[in-house]
Amino acid sequence: MSELFYNAVPNATRVAPPLPEPRQYPSEKPRRVYLFGTCVVDLFYPEAGMDAIHLLEREGIRVDYPQGQSCCGQPAYTSGYTEQARTVARAQLALFAEDYPVVVPSGSCAGMLREHYADLFKDEPETLKQVQALAARTYELAEFLLFVCKVQLQDSGKPVKIALHTSCSARREMNTHLHGRALLAQLCNVERVEHSHESECCGFGGTFSVRMPDISGAMVADKTRALKESGAHQVVSADCGCLMNINGALEKQQEALRGQHLASFLWQRTGGAA
């Protein structure tokens, strides 16, 4: 039995893959970028998209927002609808054809563009070249502000305790929890507090929350309990899908605690409109 088990689980599946090489960032800010707004930002959190644009424009960068953009294809892809995901992804490729950086106010959607489009188009050599070029110029917003713009933020807000939530794929594919922490650390009146379920999923997971509502509900209950117990006055996240789930659960619990997108939080703390 043990021999059968060993043969069924070859050694290669039990060894972690090598870590990727550190990303090389441009030495100078670009004059122009695309913003891939994401469907959740477009439909539910438009202020997060606008505040992302404000932050970029304050750095002297022109922001182009192709009006035909929609979903990155992640919900279909993670649900096993590969052909449908490929159709959605192909439509996005056509909209970001110029060689500008693509900035995404969502680590999970940025991860889809950077990490998974190559899998979708692995059997189409010409399209794969486009996808690889797109991946090389795709940045999550906090990453772009930190390493490309090299922002130095000046806090103009009152003292506050915040808890940072990072989506699972954003954390594991884009390291956005590190980028977000670094930006928040520049704000002298902001104290980031730890919470016990920081690295755990909030239960959203795109279509997962629809297909597995009971499990999703239990997960967001754990997440919101940890956030409340942290003593935070506010929740900040760079992923609006998670915010929608967490805020919805907090509202149902009749709690005052709420979450805000990182772009809006940064813009307001550094002199933007409240």
16 within domain boundaries: no
41 within domain boundaries: yes
217 within domain boundaries: yes
- The span from the CA of 10 to the CA of 80, in Å, is 25
3 within domain boundaries: no
Total count of domains within the chain = 2
Residue 126 and residue 91 share a domain: yes
Which residue type is seen at 171? R
Mean pLDDT of 155-159: 96
- The span from the CA of 173 to the CA of 153, in Å, is 25
Q: Which range of residues forms the domain containing residue 104?
A: 32-148
Last residue within a domain, chosen from 96, 126, 148: 148
Residue 242 and residue 216 share a domain: yes
Q: Which residues of 33-62 are buried (b: 16+ CB within 10 A; e: fewer)?
A: bbbbbbbbbbeebeebbbbbbbbbeeeebe
Look at residue 12 and tell me whether its pLDDT is greater than 70: no
Classify residue 117 as left (phi > 0), alpha (psi -120 to 50) or beta.
Answer: alpha
Is residue 3 very low, low, confident or very high in pLDDT (cuts 50, 70, 90)?
very low
Residue 243 and residue 184 share a domain: yes
Residue 173 and residue 143 share a domain: no
Mean pLDDT of 244-267: 96
Residue 184 and residue 126 share a domain: no
Look at residue 207 and tell me whether its pLDDT is greater than 90: no
The domain spanning residue 257 has which CATH number? Answer: 3.40.50
Give the position of tokens 């670094």.
182
- pLDDT tens readout for residues 160-190: 999 999 888 888 888 888 999 999 999 999 9
Residue 206 and residue 137 share a domain: no
Element (H, E) at 73: none
pLDDT value, residue 19: 66
Higher pLDDT, 14 or 109: 109
Residue 194 and residue 87 share a domain: no
Which two three-digit tokens encode residue 152?
């130095």
Last residue within a domain, chosen from 148, 174, 206: 148
pLDDT value, residue 189: 98
The model's pTM: 0.90
15 within domain boundaries: no
Last residue within a domain, chosen from 118, 148, 178: 148
Mean pLDDT of 220-246: 95
Pick the closest to residue 152 from 187, 117, 179 (CA basis). Answer: 187
Mean pLDDT of the chain: 91
Residue 194 and residue 137 share a domain: no
Is residue 11 very low, low, confident or very high in pLDDT (cuts 50, 70, 90)?
low
- pLDDT tens readout for residues 69-120: 999 999 999 889 999 999 999 999 999 999 999 999 999 999 999 999 999 9
Is residue 1 very low, low, confident or very high in pLDDT (cuts 50, 70, 90)?
very low
Residue 221 and residue 133 share a domain: no
26 within domain boundaries: no
What's the per-residue H, E or C state across 125-158? HHHHHHHHHHHHCEEEHHHHHHHHCCCCCCCCCC
24 within domain boundaries: no
Residue 43 and residue 76 share a domain: yes
Look at residue 122 and tell me whether its pLDDT is greater than 90: yes
Residue 265 and residue 207 share a domain: yes
Look at residue 14 and tell me whether its pLDDT is greater than 80: no
171 within domain boundaries: yes
Mean pLDDT of 220-240: 96
